[in-house]
Structure 1
């Protein structure tokens, strides 16, 4: 027992735990002051760093394209004789389900609602079409480039460089050398853990109320807060159980989650009878995205829409980059860099684009046909979860739709948190070889720890704007470390070439 305990890096366990407990208490005891603090910090970041976030996105996208379409793409992640760990189909499902939490469903259903009253969208000829266009942009190539670039870097670190530690900081060793074993490495790993705390808080706080509202609608008892507590406990128990069973169980559960997600899309597509509208509107949005991509990615004038949404989304994806790319890199042994880049783009973009085209157009179509006046409900400040459940009630036998929605959300929650619990547990050890797995107790500890801060945010009733601010604040230091990791990766490639 003493030997196992000696392997744990206590500072990387105790400091985040104490900080999370303190932050949760502050949010609960001083909710108004906490909101004001988040608003002020976000305003300063938007003022000073909006352009920085946009350029970081462009640079990561270009970097992945260089890897895919240059001789670097021929480099195998592993030894020459290594075979891929998983068949392409299962690998693709694991990528999507380990990176896309229930947020993809929540935003697919209501992101267009969030945009529709924005002046930038209202100024367009067809606001509904452009609200979908911006959704595809925010969940498109730039967003996925953050994951993909780091996944390649982490995979290279694990299976080519064969570093002896499984930590975020270890990817920076080519730049910092032995300094990574000291204070520099500690700071980088603490940034990673705090970033992941912010990511889980944002994810749970945004989409869990929808799951709670669905449960309340189906069972006609309880409050959203009560159901949020119950469902969070259920989700933690499920993903902890799967995580403890290991990668085989995680890969099987990812198939179940992916199937539930696919079933939801098929159900909405068929029952709403919106296939033709989805195809027409989806094609138009994709055309807009393709022809206006550069101006959307680097607008001539950074306005409030860019600061409120594009900066938020790049931040949202960045804070998840401390875990999900590590997981993708870990399951990509035996693949060439080009296969990882192009394969991840294919699976990632196919899943997110289908989700938004089908689920967003479901609401837009019902609004246009006059079946439900969503814009009127928005003007009355009706919450997004209530609007979404009301939207599903327009379908025949809507209870089945809500049950499938619940199953898909729980499945995606669990697969994402399976992967991040496994990864963050690895960060908690002083040394952990690639073939070693963290203890069950460590995974259990993080499974519970990750639920504390989101609960505090949910119980204080934070607004969407303030929840987003948590991700934006955490993303700033994390993005700097990500840049260092990319530079370190290319430095390793150059050293390999010289040998």
Structure 2
């Protein structure tokens, strides 16, 4: 344990987290106001920069994938992928999206249908799916893919440690700046994780309240959080092969079962048609949408509330998700990594939203009018399943899947944080894994208690907005990191 207390990166990161937590607790209203104002400032002045960066990132990765650089093997020339395609996709998807697809499965397509982002000749249902695809598609995975590519190259080709700072250490000699990059990455990962756990457990509690017609209190949320953290800690303790991989596969199998059930008991032909149409228009309109050009501009208010928010959120999660994807990508070529990350989860997400979105459109059509039945992100999918056979069973399965997806987000984050603070080791010590499990549990419970004590402040939304602020440095860093990567790869040619 003495070694832990001599670990400056660990001590500084936890110390800053503790100080920020105390400040937030004793000056909640002022902290909330500052974070809200800064978040709005970032989206207002850098929102379009995020759009352009997202488009550039997608195009950059496609160029790399189809160039000679794409043939570069992550590891020895004759090495095979460490994980099968099925295991690899299950783990990267569980870490990268997870419970979010359940949170927004019905709510977002319906919102976009009822509030079209821009004028179009397309049917409102197709436009809504197209814009939902846009916010969950290539760009999100391109942010993840960029960090995954550079970190995987740093780890398996340059034989460096798994630290974000190592991606630019050859070009940036300032050790304090490199140290600051790692501290910021750790803090951003923690903030994102706490927000994800808080939102996830709140949705689970909302689902339990809805299914069992109860009104459970904060105690249930804390109990759920504790159980999820204990399972995640055990999974992280067991490691990638015996813990994270197994639960990730279970997640995908259950999600596919829910998807298939809904697909079979809905209008299969209409879902398939909408999926193909929306995907086609998404590809055709991708560049003008990514530039918010002309008639494809939804306006500043809409962009700030949705697209800018999503882009900043994906960027804030990119270092952590990228590190995890890099960690499980040994033996693949850069082309396999990039096309796998960009295409497979994207098409899966598109079909997911097509099934749930189209089915929800039909329910609204049958009702004849819409009174915001799917407006609550925490209960929308449970309301949706009430209109299907075996509704109670479906909702129980959904509750289990929400918890299971949260476990895989948390266990992979614990593993990544442990790699950071254990000198960038590929397999960090179990002491670090347990320590981060405890820290995350304490921080999340404290956040939930603060939200209950200060009901006038939306604490969970505040933490999410904090990610918008911390994403800005990573936006600029990603450009520098990509430049260093290209310079390093071309130098070796």
User: TM-score under structure 2 normalisation?
Assistant: 0.90
- 1:304 matched to 2:301? The reply is yes
Deviations 1:348-401 (A, max 9, x none): 113221221122233222112218x554447xxx63323432222222321111
SS across alignment from 1:120: coil
Aligned to 2:117: 120
Task: Say which of 245, 253, 259 aligns to 2:247.
Answer: 253
Instruction: Rate the CA distance shift 1:396–1:39 in 2: closer, same or farther, 3 A.
Output: same
C-alpha contact 2:106 2:356 (8 A) present in aligned 1: yes
C-alpha contact 1:202 1:470 (8 A) present in aligned 2: no
Residue 467 of structure 1: how far off its partner (Å): 5.2
- Structure 1's consecutive aligned runs of 4 or more residues displaced over 6 angstroms after TM superposition are none
Aligned to 1:494: 490
Deviations 1:191-236 (A, max 9, x none): 1012112322332343432211122234444525333222111111
What pairs up with 1:32-431 in 2 under 5 angstroms? 32-116=29-113, 118=115, 120-121=117-118, 126-163=123-160, 165-177=161-173, 179=174, 182-223=175-216, 225-249=218-242, 250-271=244-265, 273-300=266-293, 303-370=300-367, 374-377=370-373, 383-429=376-422, 431=423
Task: Say which of 433, 442, 450 aligns to 2:440.
Answer: 450
Deviations 1:171-199 (A, max 9, x none): 1112114x3xx311210001101211232
Deviations 1:272-302 (A, max 9, x none): x232332232223223312221111001355
Task: Say which of 3, 16, 19 aligns to 1:19.
Answer: 16
C-alpha contact 2:200 2:403 (8 A) present in aligned 1: no
Instruction: Rate the CA distance shift 1:312–1:185 in 2: closer, same or farther, 3 A.
Output: same
User: TM-score under structure 1 normalisation?
Assistant: 0.89
Deviations 1:108-150 (A, max 9, x none): 2312344455463577763333222111001111111111121
C-alpha contact 1:216 1:227 (8 A) present in aligned 2: no
Q: Over aligned residues, Cα RMSD in angstroms?
A: 2.5
- 1:441 matched to 2:431? The reply is yes
C-alpha contact 1:101 1:203 (8 A) present in aligned 2: no
C-alpha contact 2:373 2:383 (8 A) present in aligned 1: no
C-alpha contact 1:171 1:489 (8 A) present in aligned 2: yes
C-alpha contact 2:106 2:384 (8 A) present in aligned 1: no
Residue 432 of structure 1: how far off its partner (Å): 4.2
- 1:483 matched to 2:479? The reply is yes
Instruction: Rate the CA distance shift 1:428–1:305 in 2: closer, same or farther, 3 A.
Output: same
Instruction: Rate the CA distance shift 1:36–1:490 in 2: closer, same or farther, 3 A.
Output: same
Aligned to 1:472: 468
Residue 307 of structure 1: how far off its partner (Å): 2.0
Aligned to 1:9: 7
For the residues of structure 1 that align with 2:377 and 2:462, how far apart are their CA atoms? 15
Residue 97 of structure 1: how far off its partner (Å): 1.8
**Structure 2: runs of 5+ lacking an equivalent:** none
C-alpha contact 2:107 2:376 (8 A) present in aligned 1: no
**Structure 1: runs of 5+ lacking an equivalent:** none
SS across alignment from 1:288: helix
Which range is displaced more, 349-358 or 315-324?
349-358
Residue 260 of structure 1: how far off its partner (Å): 1.3
For the residues of structure 1 that align with 2:89 and 2:108, how far apart are their CA atoms? 25
Residue 317 of structure 1: how far off its partner (Å): 0.9
